[in-house]
Structure 1
C-alpha cells in the first residue's frame, strides 16, 4: 500500500489521536467521516494486511499503575538474531524489540509487576538465550505518546 487515499489518512488520524471509547467505535469513526461502518472496517483491515497498521489498542502508563519498566540492550551474534528475538518476544512483558546498528544490537522494553520480577525475567532470558542483557530503567519519562499526522502531502 504505497498511496493512501485521503479517506485512509483521515481514518488513521482518528485512530491515533481521537479513537472513540464507545461500544461501537468503528461506527462512530464512519459517522464522523460520512462513511459506512463496513467500509471503515474494510479499510482498516487492508491497512493491517499491508503492514501499515500493526496494532490497535490502548497504551497504559505502566509506572502509574505500579509496574516496573526498563529498556534493555543485548549483544546478539548476527546469525542468532531471529532465534534470540523469538526467545525475548515470548515474554509477555516485552512490548518492543528492535535491532540497532550498535555493539548492543538488540533493544527491547520489559514491563513487570515489580523490579524483582523484571530482574528474574531478565536472568531467565540471559540463561535461555545465552546472551548478556543490560537493564536501563528510566530515571525520568519525557514523552509517552507518538502520533503521526497524516496530511495529503505526507509521503509513506
Structure 2
C-alpha cells in the first residue's frame, strides 16, 4: 500500500463532511482543491483500490423514511462463521456485519421497512447452519456522533 500524498489527505479531509450536493460534486471538489474533476476521480479510484476508501455515500434518517432498525448479536459455530456472514450480507438491510470475540461472535445491524419483514429475516438467520443463538438488541434512545478523521 502506498503512502497518502498531501493531496490525498486534503481530498479525504474534504470528502468526510463537505461532499457538495450538485450535478458534478467531484468537479466542485476539484475546484476547491485547485485541480480537475478527472484528477479527483482518479485519486479516489486509486484510494479505493489501495484500501483507504471503502465507499462514498450519504446517511439517511431511516426512521423518518419508515424503517426500523435493530442490532443483532449471533452466536455462530466458528467453522461456519464465514458462511453465516456471507448469508447475512445478502440481505439488503444488513449493515455493519463484523466478527467479535466472545460467545456472540457475529454482529450486524438490520434495517427493515416493517416488523414483519424483520421477524422473517431474523427467523431465516436463526435457522442458518451454525447459528446457535440470536439476540435482537433494539435501541431505546439514539445517540449519534459524527466521527471525522483529520489527516495531516
Task: State TM-score, norm by structure 2.
Answer: 0.93
Deviation, 1:123, is: 0.6
Task: Give the unaligned 5+ runs of structure 1.
Answer: none
Residues 68 and 144 of structure 1: is their aligned pair in 2 closer, same or farther, counting only changes over 3 Å? Answer: farther
Partner secondary structure for residue 85 of structure 1: helix
**2:98 maps to what in 1?**
98
**1:16 maps to what in 2?**
16
Measured in 2, the distance between the counterparts of 1:81 and 1:145 equals 31
**2:78 maps to what in 1?**
78
1:111 counterpart = 2:111 = yes
Measured in 1, the distance between the counterparts of 2:138 and 2:100 equals 18
Partner secondary structure for residue 76 of structure 2: coil
Contact 1:87 1:129 in 2 (8 A): no
Measured in 2, the distance between the counterparts of 1:10 and 1:129 equals 46
Task: Give the unaligned 5+ runs of structure 2.
Answer: none
Larger % of helix: which? 1
Contact 1:72 1:136 in 2 (8 A): yes
Q: What value does the CA root-mean-square deviation take over the aligned residues?
A: 1.3
**Number of residues of Structure 1 aligned to a counterpart in Structure 2:** 151
**1:28 maps to what in 2?**
28
